A and B are shown apart, each in its own frame.
Chain A
Amino acid sequence: MLRKLLLLAAPLLIVLALETLFRAGLWEPLARPDSHAGTSVRLKRMLTSADLTRVDYVTLGSSRPLYGLDHARIAASAHGRGFVHANLSMPGTHWMTIGALGRWLASHRPEVRGGIVALSIQDFSWPGNGSYELGIVQPFRAFFAVSDTMPYVPFDGSRIDTYGSRSALFEWREDVRDFARNPGKRLGTLRWYQRNRSSAQQLFANPESEGDMCAIGVTALSACDRTNDMDDGKSRQLAGQCELLRREATNRFDFRPAMASASPPERMARIRSGVERALRMLEWQETPVVVLMPVPALWKRDVLGRGQHEWARAVLQPLVDEGRIRVIDGTDFFSADSDGGCSAFFDFYHQNASGRERFTDWLLPQLETSRQ
């Protein structure tokens, strides 16, 4: 009888064993390096590499700080004081990643003493950034910590893309499917990244960010149609962003009445608890500095929820009052520009090199004074 039961249970045990191996990182060496999850894996590998002897400060955040901060200058400034400051910002990062990465750093890089959390007021619109953020978090997730993901991407039985919040096999399935379609191409890309992408490039340097919105002529949503006539990669990307922004613009949420209400809607309660949860995970010696990255003027004017800036500050204020975080608000940094800031951005989200330098000139002295 026992043998029969074992035989019936054995297939499930094999699946569970593989789930455990996937959670432990079995698939990570094969992950697509240019995907969200693959970027996360590469970052994890750099952080666990013996070459990186210590990390004192980190920058956590999305693609906005990835392009919008001069990481080389920030690292050089820290280096001048005898510290190492690494840039860990990744495209797609939202509060879930901040929390999971904060927890992972506490156990794997306990020497980290402080850092920057750089997101924008747009990241206070929803509790999560969509199920694709599960891929970013996966390599940094604690083995059994469902609580790292559930508040941000709740499990939904009818949506297979949310199963990744509970299972590493499901989380990696798109990557495995992509690998199975063309294994040769994947192995080639992995080799290319191994040869051409160093830790220094990722952690202490700036990515390329050429072009500006004024030159392209897309300074407002109403000008989006211009992208239809252009046929280069950048215009196609802009057209995609236009589409997304137009959709958001048609459904602008008004945060103001709910902020005044004693019982805010569930969405706002979840945003607040998600942000608080993530920031409380950062148990650093020095107070984390939350930088609200600049947004082009048209975001506030045409796209974001009404009162969203005030809402973001209201979410952060209790943590400021507690002394848990310090906030540097750069949201309107380019708003005073006569062109609405369009010359500082290469697309609707990201600053170009000029915008990056202007913002870093303003930010860096404030960061230095905050360091003890």
Chain B
Amino acid sequence: MLFNSVHFVVFFLVVLSLNQALRRWPTAQKLMLLAASYYFYGQWEWHYLLLIWFSTITDYLIALRLPRSARPRRLVVLSVVVNLGFLAIFKYANWMIDTFNMSADAIGSAWHITPIDLLLPVGISFYTFQSLSYTIDVYRGVLPPRKNLFDYSLAVAFFPQIEAGPIVRAREFLSELDGDRSLDFGDVRYALVLIALGYAKKLVFADNLAQFADPVFDSPALFGFWDCLLAIYAFAFQIYCDFSGYTDIAIGCALLLGIRFPRNFDYPYASASLQEFWRRWHMTLSRWLRDYLYIPLGGNRKGPAHTYFNLVLTMLLGGLWHGASWNFVIWGGIHGGWLAIERATFGRFRWWGDDPGLAARFVRAILTFHVVCAAWVFFRAPDFAHAASMFRALSKPADALDASRLGALLFTVCGMFLLQQVGLRLHYKERLAGRGGIGFVLCIAIAILAMILFAPAKTVPFIYFQF
């Protein structure tokens, strides 16, 4: 079930009504949310509910046993193996087989493995990380094991987050579930602003920008310098509007159900360094990678060389988390490499330090944005050849820039880039939901009108659903 479908809107209104009706019976309320979450996921492919149940019950039982176990490390390893095992089978098996077959071809071997016919379960990367965080936190002693299976099942399967995040750790979710879930009118307004802006970002901006980006990324050889440049910028904002739009809807829906999710985006293209970018882009993934991968690898505690290695390795694995393709590995490599360069050179110049001044910060934001854009080419291109073709087109002399392309360029780069810069300073979402009401009313009305008038006729699925 897609967030951008009428089916979801009806489903959510029913769940919201039931949630309100059951507010005096918390257990019934939670069971209803769990049933609704399984229904939501089962609408896509109900067989894969078995996978979620297996993963949930395994981690639940392991966590229960952990505090009393003489060898807790073995149990955590079992949890990691089970969760990552599923991920490996469903997401990476065919990629590894393809890589093996290509290597065999390269050395002239006749050995080939037949690819497995498997459908990638929606959201597997997200709920695997959520589930893993639970057993690791219990192992570390920062979270007591949950005795109530239904509570933990809801933490794994809660429908606003299961398909594409945000990656809410079990301890965050469970403390929300246990805490005061009542809402005041300000919360309702904030949630509605998030949902309206989320839908507008997706349907009005992301889906229209896709019409610029898709044809060029599909056949870059047919296009010249400006079209390729435009497509890259368009994709940079498309993926932001698509993913942050999805997240806003998820956070808004969860809030209306009484669950507060952590923030996932904070004007990432206003970042003055890649390090800052990762504090503002897909923040829940960055935190997860930092706490469960980068720090356990040693973080920055073992000297500069080790730090750079950890950064690159973390980002390479982060890239691979997105999808089974060498392009994602290169994408992660670019981010990891640039993060290492930033760390090695940071503070050597005044403008490249903590307090660079407004102008230098703006120039650094432009530089960071272009590094991110260069990496997006690998992220979006279907394979390495297409990505290389994009860069070849950019290395050719620029063709004539006509008025419509100039307009599109000004809109995507200047308009949206500046909007990020301004948004970072104004915090408009909070302001719109704040006191007064005029801002709230206009925001929702304009968002609805923009969706009616400007959403393309063809619905485009959320980009992160494929991960």
A residues with CB within 8 A of B:
4, 7-8, 10-12, 14-15, 18, 157, 160-161, 167, 169-170, 172-173, 176-177, 180-182
Interface: B457 (CB within 8 A):
yes
Pick the residue among B6, B404, B448, B452 that contacts A182 (CB under 8 A).
B404
Contacts A7-B437, A7-B440, A157-B6 given; indicate if A176 touches B445 (C-beta within 8 A): no
Pick the residue among A14, A157, A169, A173 that contacts B445 (CB under 8 A).
A14
Pick the residue among A7, A157, A161 that contacts B441 (CB under 8 A).
A7
Q: Write out the residue numbers on chain A whose beta carbons fall within 8 Å of the beta carbon of B116.
A: none
Interface: B113 (CB within 8 A):
no
Contacts A7-B440, A7-B441 given; indicate if A15 touches B449 (C-beta within 8 A): yes
Contact with A along B348-371 (1 / 0, CB 8 A): 000000000000000000000000
Q: Write out the residue numbers on chain A whose beta carbons fall within 8 Å of the beta carbon of B404.
A: 181-182
Contact with A along B436-467 (1 / 0, CB 8 A): 01001111110011001111010000000000
Q: What are 27 inter-chain pairs, A to B, with CB distance below 8 A? A: A4-B185, A7-B437, A7-B440, A7-B441, A8-B188, A10-B437, A10-B445, A11-B196, A11-B444, A11-B445, A12-B445, A12-B448, A14-B441, A14-B449, A15-B445, A160-B455, A160-B457, A167-B452, A169-B449, A169-B453, A173-B452, A173-B454, A176-B453, A176-B454, A177-B454, A180-B454, A182-B404
B452 to chain A, nearest CB (A): 5
Which chain B residue lies CB-closest to A18?
B449
A182→B408 CA distance, assembly (Å): 11
Which chain A residue lies CB-closest to B188?
A8
Q: Write out the residue numbers on chain A whose beta carbons fall within 8 Å of the beta carbon of B437.
A: 7, 10
Q: Write out the residue numbers on chain B whose beta carbons fall within 8 Å of the beta carbon of A10.
A: 437, 441, 445
Given contacts A11-B445, A160-B455, A169-B452, 7 further A-B contacts (CB under 8 A): A4-B185, A11-B196, A11-B443, A14-B442, A157-B6, A177-B454, A181-B404
Contact with A along B188-211 (1 / 0, CB 8 A): 110010001000000000000000
Q: Write out the residue numbers on chain B whose beta carbons fall within 8 Å of the beta carbon of A14.
A: 441-442, 445, 449
Which chain B residue lies CB-closest to A13?
B445
Q: Write out the residue numbers on chain A whose beta carbons fall within 8 Å of the beta carbon of B441.
A: 7, 10-11, 14
Q: Write out the residue numbers on chain B whose beta carbons fall within 8 Å of the beta carbon of A7.
A: 189, 437, 440-441
Q: Write out the residue numbers on chain B whose beta carbons fall within 8 Å of the beta carbon of A18.
A: 449
A182→B402 CA distance, assembly (Å): 13
A93 to chain B, nearest CB (A): 24
A151 to chain B, nearest CB (A): 23
Which chain A residue lies CB-closest to B458?
A160
Would you call the interface of chain A mostly helix, strand, loop, or mixed?
Answer: helix
A119→B455 CA distance, assembly (Å): 35
A12→B6 CA distance, assembly (Å): 17
Contact with A along B253-289 (1 / 0, CB 8 A): 0000000000000000000000000000000000000
Interface size class of B (residues with CB under 8 A): 20 to 34
Q: Write out the residue numbers on chain B whose beta carbons fall within 8 Å of the beta carbon of A160.
A: 455, 457
Which of A11, A14, A170, A172 has the most chain B CB within a 10 Å cutoff?
A11
Q: Write out the residue numbers on chain B whose beta carbons fall within 8 Å of the beta carbon of A12.
A: 445, 448
A180→B185 CA distance, assembly (Å): 36
A4→B443 CA distance, assembly (Å): 16
Q: Write out the residue numbers on chain B whose beta carbons fall within 8 Å of the beta carbon of A15.
A: 445, 448-449, 452
A11→B440 CA distance, assembly (Å): 8
Q: Write out the residue numbers on chain A whose beta carbons fall within 8 Å of the beta carbon of B443.
A: 11
B334 to chain A, nearest CB (A): 34
Q: Write out the residue numbers on chain A whose beta carbons fall within 8 Å of the beta carbon of B445.
A: 10-12, 14-15
A277→B441 CA distance, assembly (Å): 43
List CB contacts (< 8 Å) of B386-443 with chain A.
Answer: 404, 437, 440-443
B212 to chain A, nearest CB (A): 12
B82 to chain A, nearest CB (A): 40
A18→B189 CA distance, assembly (Å): 22
Pick the residue among B448, B452, B453, B454 that contacts A11 (CB under 8 A).
B448
Q: Write out the residue numbers on chain A whose beta carbons fall within 8 Å of the beta carbon of B440.
A: 7
A302→B196 CA distance, assembly (Å): 52
Which chain B residue lies CB-closest to A15?
B448
A12→B188 CA distance, assembly (Å): 16
A297 to chain B, nearest CB (A): 38
Which chain A residue lies CB-closest to B444?
A11
A4→B437 CA distance, assembly (Å): 9
A254→B429 CA distance, assembly (Å): 60
A15→B449 CA distance, assembly (Å): 7
B164 to chain A, nearest CB (A): 23
B141 to chain A, nearest CB (A): 44
A245 to chain B, nearest CB (A): 26
Q: Write out the residue numbers on chain A whose beta carbons fall within 8 Å of the beta carbon of B454.
A: 173, 176-177, 180
A170→B455 CA distance, assembly (Å): 10
A67 to chain B, nearest CB (A): 31
Q: Write out the residue numbers on chain B whose beta carbons fall within 8 Å of the beta carbon of A180.
A: 454
Q: Write out the residue numbers on chain B whose beta carbons fall within 8 Å of the beta carbon of A182.
A: 404
A28 to chain B, nearest CB (A): 16
A7→B445 CA distance, assembly (Å): 11
Contacts A7-B437, A10-B441, A182-B404 given; indicate if A161 touches B457 (C-beta within 8 A): yes
B406 to chain A, nearest CB (A): 12
Which chain B residue lies CB-closest to A184?
B403
B204 to chain A, nearest CB (A): 11
Pick the residue among A8, A177, A181 that contacts B453 (CB under 8 A).
A177
A12→B441 CA distance, assembly (Å): 9
A178 to chain B, nearest CB (A): 11
B353 to chain A, nearest CB (A): 43
A15 to chain B, nearest CB (A): 5
B448 with A173: CB separation less than 8 A: no
Q: Write out the residue numbers on chain A whose beta carbons fall within 8 Å of the beta carbon of B196.
A: 11
Q: Write out the residue numbers on chain B whose beta carbons fall within 8 Å of the beta carbon of A170.
A: 452
Which chain A residue lies CB-closest to B6?
A157
B125 to chain A, nearest CB (A): 30
Contact with A along B155-193 (1 / 0, CB 8 A): 000000000000000000000000000000100110010
Which chain B residue lies CB-closest to A9?
B441
B186 to chain A, nearest CB (A): 11
A100→B206 CA distance, assembly (Å): 38
B402 to chain A, nearest CB (A): 12
